[in-house]
Amino acid sequence: MENNHKLALIISYYLSRFDKTALINLNYDTNTQAFQEIGETLKVKPNTIKNMRDEFDPLHPNSRKGWYQRELRPSRLEVLERYSHFSEDALTEVVKDILRDYASNSSIKENIQTYINDIENDDVVKETSNHTYTTRGITGKKAEELFEVFFREGEIEGLTGDLIDRREDGCGYDFEMEESPFYVFEIKGLLVKHGGILFTDKEWSVAKKFGKRYYLIVINNIAESPSVTIIRNPYECLNPSKSVYTSIDVNWSVKSNQIFKN
């Protein structure tokens, strides 16, 4: 994948995530104008910008369905991994940097290169394989909601009782049993029938620690007819491959003369 297409992915993610607000922030009146002018700046076809945006749409609560029929490709997942935690202000500045600096000389300056480092050139490999990869966001939240329903109905190996929600606690799993027997549950969602999943390093370490008390719950085919696959002790049952990501953070600096007037 050429660098201009990697930059286009970042901007397309921004357009999908912030939708009409993104157009206002970038001074575009319509989506068509945005696709046309961004495409001209990056030397990417306008329809490619649109299609890239549509790929991210299932993750965001806008009025478009997007390409919900298929999972995101690795390069798209890497954009999501890097930029999903950025605020609107921070990501707006990233996008403006890209458009301004690329328009000035069509070369990649150091700061712009940082934005696309480690976005892999693996789409060709991806398209020739039979694997798909899970997305997060809406898919993950829907899977977690479905898990709670399946659990209440006794479809998780007949387990019953109350669940404690640990999703915001950063403990390496999503739910745990309130009473004995003590089990923990990590939930993964797939839009389609088949696909791979991603564990964070924290999740995988906790899966090792808890062993048979750790359940992986994969809820697939969320877009049409959800079903559940249960894997107990995934650390022993599965053999994942490691991926290493370089994270990007934004800080906002304020000069001394703005604080101390005298």
Q: What is the pLDDT of residue 176?
A: 97
Choice among 41-45, 63-67, 215-219 with the minimum mean pLDDT? 63-67
pLDDT score of 107 more than 60: no
Mean pLDDT of 48-52: 95
Query: What whole-number distance in Å separates Cα of residue 86 and Cα of residue 92?
Result: 9
Give the DSSP letter of residue 196.
Answer: B
| Mean pLDDT computed over every residue of the chain | 85
Choice among 6-15, 188-197, 231-240 with the minimum mean pLDDT? 188-197
Q: What is the pLDDT of residue 132?
A: 44
Tokens representing 121 are 């050139």
Choice among 55-69, 141-155, 205-219 with the minimum mean pLDDT? 55-69
Query: What whole-number distance in Å separates Cα of residue 115 and Cα of residue 248?
Result: 8
Q: What is the DSSP string of 25-60?
A: HTT-SSHHHHHHHHHHHHT--HHHHHHHHHHHGGGS
Nearest to 233, CA basis, from 200, 184, 178: 184
Mean pLDDT of 104-129: 63
Structural contact between residues 215 and 184, judged by C-beta atoms closer than 8 angstroms: yes
pLDDT in tens, 183-201: 999 999 888 888 888 898 8
Q: If DSSP codes are grouped into helix, strand and coil, which group holds residue 140?
A: helix
Which residues partner with 196 through β-bridges?
A: 133
Residue with tokens 């996008």: 95
What pTM value is reported for the model? 0.60
Query: What whole-number distance in Å separates Cα of residue 223 and Cα of residue 225?
Result: 7
Q: What is the pLDDT of residue 131?
A: 40
Nearest to 193, CA basis, from 153, 229, 162, 159: 229
Q: What is the pLDDT of residue 57?
A: 86
Structural contact between residues 10 and 79, judged by C-beta atoms closer than 8 angstroms: yes
Nearest to 183, CA basis, from 197, 166, 205, 170: 166
pLDDT score of 116 more than 80: yes
| Domain parsing of the chain, residue ranges | 3-127, 138-237
Give the model's confidence band at 136: pLDDT under 50 very low, under 70 low, under 90 confident, else very high: low
pLDDT in tens, 224-235: 789 999 999 999
Give the model's confidence band at 137: pLDDT under 50 very low, under 70 low, under 90 confident, else very high: low
Give the model's confidence band at 133: pLDDT under 50 very low, under 70 low, under 90 confident, else very high: very low
Mean pLDDT of 159-165: 93
The answer to whether the peptide bond before residue 61 is cis (omega within 30 degrees of 0) is no
**Which fold would CATH assign to domain 138-237?**
Trna Endonuclease; Chain: A, domain 1 (3.40.1350)
